[in-house]
Amino acid sequence: MSRSRHVGKIRKRLEEIKNQSVRPTKADFSHHESVRLATDALLDGGTESYLRALNEEGEVDFLSSVEAQYIKKNAREPYYANESHAERETGPRQNDAGSLQSGTYFPISEGSEPALHHTWSTAEKPYLKEKSSATVYFQTEKNSNIRDIIRRCISKTSQVLAIMMDVFTDTEIFCDVLEAANKRGVFVYLLLDQSNIKLFSEMCDKVQIAEDHFKNISVRSVTGEVYCAKSGRKFSGQIQEKFIISDWRYVLSGSYSFTWLCGQVHRNFLSKFTGQVVELFDEEFRHLYALSKPVMGLSSPTHTVPFLLNTSTTTQGSLTSSSNQGSANTPSDPFSSLSANSTYQTKQPPSTHGYSSNPTSQSPLHRGNSFHGYTSFM
């Protein structure tokens, strides 16, 4: 007796949708094994292996041509493929992400504790001084130019500017950031998507900005989540989050990238958040900063260098700076951990209690455990 052909979950659902006599079923959010097998096949053997796996699983082609090309282009071998046996026996690297359990981030000098320049007590969270609000701006609103709003935000920041951006090539916004750091003494923490760092470096070369111009600026790169096949081959996603935290008082976030095209022709939106919701962006930035890597040639400012300090050795929730000469620190590689099975490797955020010195107290805003979802109890 011949075995009935397996039908994948997506194909089965499509057939049910096309059949008017079939009643709608409850949405299925469970693990999709056929998709995993096909993705592993693409990662390990290329397009032919991927199509063969789809045929065997009876599943539809669920990847766009752009996605399939991205996976193949960014595929990486496991570390042990390029390491000797002795190196593998030494255990995890000194600067693996898991060893950087930090709840705070700031420039630090080598061999001495940084002087406190920007700090606040648990009762003086800057964002709590603002009334909770949300304002949305669209590109079509000529009276509220998104690019001008962002530039105005940077120009009015007086202490600390935290920027998470996917692409940064806008020279005017770059000048705003440099002016804030070099002329007004604002400490700038710039996290960029690792795959687009080359575009940022290209801009720096074009405008002849070198390392010594990055006073008070920490430039670091970070990736998205990591998908790992059973074979050990893997690829990382991109950072597509875009937000700015100004003096820990308010946040600008939306679809806008720091590019000339976004400022002139691409349609985007921008949201401004004040109040307690800023704490969620603060947590996300700290999480990503702990996973980031320095950008060679740009991440070692003349006076300050980014370093992740464990919460057990510093005052909780403080943001500090140093005016002494520092040395570059080599942080973790997001590809360092490898699970036994094929999985989407979700980077775990460092354990932190935010700014609160009371471990039993909780903010009314809680970050969900599943990926980066947030739930509000306001």
Domains of the chain, residue spans: 97-227+239-333
Reported as a pLDDT band with limits 50, 70 and 90, residue 78 is: confident
267 close to 77: Cβ distance less than 8 angstroms: no
What's the whole-number average pLDDT of the chain? 75
Reported as a pLDDT band with limits 50, 70 and 90, residue 83 is: low
pLDDT for 176-228, tens place per residue? 999 999 999 999 999 999 999 999 999 999 999 988 889 899 999 999 999 99
pLDDT of residue 80: 64
Rounded to an integer, what distance in angstroms lies between the CA atom of residue 278 and that of residue 295? 27
> CA separation (Å) from 161 to 1, 23, 284?
69, 53, 15
pLDDT of residue 330: 36
Question: 319 or 225: which carries more pLDDT confidence?
Answer: 225
Q: What does the pLDDT average to over 124-151?
A: 88
Type and span of the H or E element at 294? strand 293-294
Q: Which of helix, strand or coil describes residue 4?
A: coil
* Least confident segment among 10-19, 138-147, 160-169, 264-273: 138-147
Angle between helices 33-45 and 9-18 (to 10 degrees): 130
First vs last C-alpha separation in the chain:
61
Q: Please count the residues of the chain.
A: 378
Rounded to an integer, what distance in angstroms lies between the CA atom of residue 3 and that of residue 12? 17
Q: Is the dihedral of CA 240, 243, 248, 250 positive or negative?
A: negative
Output 64-72 pairs: Cβ under 8 A, ≥24 positions apart: 68/42, 70/235, 71/39, 71/42, 71/43, 71/235, 72/42, 72/43, 72/46, 72/47
341 close to 230: Cβ distance less than 8 angstroms: yes
Topology (CATH) of 97-227+239-333: Endonuclease; Chain A (3.30.870)
257 close to 166: Cβ distance less than 8 angstroms: yes
Phi, psi of 352 (to 5 degrees): -155, 155
pLDDT of residue 130: 83
* Least confident segment among 63-67, 103-107, 154-158, 339-343: 103-107
